[in-house]
Amino acid sequence: MTTIIQDRSRLRTRRGTFGSMREIIRHFTLNWFAVTMGTGILAVSLGQFSQMPILFTIGAALWCLNILLFCAFACTYTARWILYPEEAGRVFGHPILSMFFGCIPMGLATIVNGFLLFGAPMLGEMSVEIAFVLWWIDAVLAIVIGLAIPFMMFTRQDHAIDQMSAVWLLPIVAGEVAAVSGGLLLPQVADPTTQLNVLIASFVLWAFSVPLALGILVILFLRMIVHNLPHAGMAATSWLALGPIGTGALGLALFATNGGPVLTENGLDSLSSAMSGASALAALLLWGYGLWWLVTAIVITLRYVRDGLPFNIGWWGYTFPLGVYAVATHRLGSIFHVAFIDAFGDVLVAALVVIWIVVASRTVVGVLNASLLVDPSLDRRTSV
C-alpha cells in the first residue's frame, strides 16, 4: 500500500496534477479499455433511437469520442510496452489485470458497430468497408485472447475459488461480442458468399464464447454461496455476469433477423426459417435468464452502497453489461412486437445514461487527482 501512495504522490508532484507523461505511460493499465466499452455501448444504445434525431446525434458524437479514446489508449499502452517492457509483462502473471485484455476487442467492437450505425452519413459506403476490415481484426483478437488468457490462468497465475470474481468472463466474452458485430454487418455486405462466411464465423464466435461463459456463471454462483460477495473494490463485477447473457441474446436476435435472408440467398431455404425461429426463441430464453442476474446485480449493488462503495476504474463495469442487455431488449421487442419489452429497453437505456454520466465524471476527477493512474501489478501485494 505504501508503494501505491508513493506512486500517487509522485504523479501529483512531478508535473502538476497529471504527473509526468512517462509516469502516466508506466502506470497505464488494460482496464482503461473498459472506458471505451462503456462509452461505445452508450453510443450504440442511443443509435437505436433513429426516430429521435437528438439522441441519434448524441450517440454519433459519443462514437467519435470513443474512437479518439480507443486510439489514445492503444497508443499509450503500446508506448508502455516499448518504454517499460519488463513492467508491462507482469500483467500476464496478474490474476485480475490480465483479464482486461478482453476489453480491447470488446471496445473495438463498439467502434465497428458505430461505423454501421453512424458511419454512412459521414463516409458513405466506405464506412461498411472499414467496418468489415475492423470486424475481422476484432474477431481474430477475440479468438487469440479467448485462448491465451485462460492458458495463462492454467499455467502462470495463482487462482482460488474464494478469490474468484466475474472478471474471469472478460477474455471469454470477447468472442460473442464480435459475433454481435458480425450479425449487424450481415445486411450491409453485398456479396452472398461473403455474407454466408460472416454468418458462419459469427455463429462460431458465439459458440466459442457463450457456453464457456455460462459455465463460469455457474461457478460464480457457487462461489458467492460458499464465500459470500467479493470485497467492495470489486463491487462492479456483480454486473459483469449480465454481459455474456445480454450479448448472447443480442447475437441470437441478430441471427434471427439478419441470418435468414443470408441462408436463402445461398440456396439454404430449408434452414432459413428453422434457424431464425430457433435463434429468436433462444434469445428470448437467454434474455429471461438475464432478468435474474439483473435483479441480483441491483440488490448486490444496494448492499455495497449501504456498506460503503469506493470508486475505482472498475465502476465502468456497470455500463457495458447493462448496455448490451438494453440493446438486446429493444431488439427482442421489435422481433416479438411486445410493447412492454420495448418500453423496458427504454428504461434500461435511461439508467445507462445516468450511470455513464456518474462514472465518467468521477473518472475525470480521478484522472485529475491521479488516484486512478496507478498500476497495481507494480506492487504484487496489491489487487485491483
Rounded-to-integer distance, Cα 57 and Cα 350, Å? 16
Cell 460472416 belongs to 198
pTM of the model: 0.92
Rounded-to-integer distance, Cα 205 and Cα 207, Å? 5
Q: What angle do CA 362, 366, 371 make, to 5 degrees?
A: 145
CA 10 vs CA 27, 332, 375: distances in Å: 12, 51, 13
Rounded-to-integer distance, Cα 224 and Cα 247, Å? 23
Q: How many Cβ atoms from other residues are within 10 Å of residue 318's Cβ?
A: 25
Cell 463495469 belongs to 317
Q: Please tell me the predicted confidence (pLDDT) of residue 126.
A: 94
**Which grid coordinates belong to 264?**
436463402
- Exposed / middle / buried, residue 241 (Cβ in 10 Å: 0-12, 13-18, 19+): buried
User: For residue 255, what are the contacts with CB-CB under 8 A and spacing of at least 6?
Assistant: 183, 199, 202, 203, 206, 275, 276, 279
Ordered by where they begin, the domains of the chain are: 12-378 (1.50.10.150)
User: What 8-state DSSP symbol labels residue 257?
Assistant: I
Q: Please tell me the predicted confidence (pLDDT) of residue 379.
A: 60
Q: Please tell me the predicted confidence (pLDDT) of residue 19.
A: 52
User: For residue 18, what are the contacts with CB-CB under 8 A and spacing of at least 6?
Assistant: 11, 24, 367, 368, 370
Contact assessment for residue 27 and residue 373, using Cβ atoms and an 8 Å cutoff: yes
Contact assessment for residue 33 and residue 72, using Cβ atoms and an 8 Å cutoff: no
**Which grid coordinates belong to 90?**
507482469
Q: Please tell me the predicted confidence (pLDDT) of residue 1.
A: 39
Contact assessment for residue 80 and residue 26, using Cβ atoms and an 8 Å cutoff: yes
Report the candidate in 284, 289, 352, 347 with the shortest Cα–Cα distance to residue 316: 352
Q: Reduce the DSSP state of residue 17 to 3 states and report it.
A: strand
Q: Please tell me the predicted confidence (pLDDT) of residue 8.
A: 46
Q: Please tell me the predicted confidence (pLDDT) of residue 375.
A: 83
User: What 8-state DSSP symbol labels residue 51?
Assistant: T
Rounded-to-integer distance, Cα 182 and Cα 190, Å? 14
Cα torsion 122, 328, 49, 334: sign: positive
In this prediction, the residues of the chain whose per-residue pLDDT falls under 50 are 1-18, 380-384
Contact assessment for residue 41 and residue 110, using Cβ atoms and an 8 Å cutoff: yes
List alpha helices for the chain, DSSP H. Answer: 2-14, 21-26, 33-47, 53-83, 85-88, 103-123, 126-155, 170-185, 192-227, 242-254, 260-265, 269-307, 320-336, 339-368
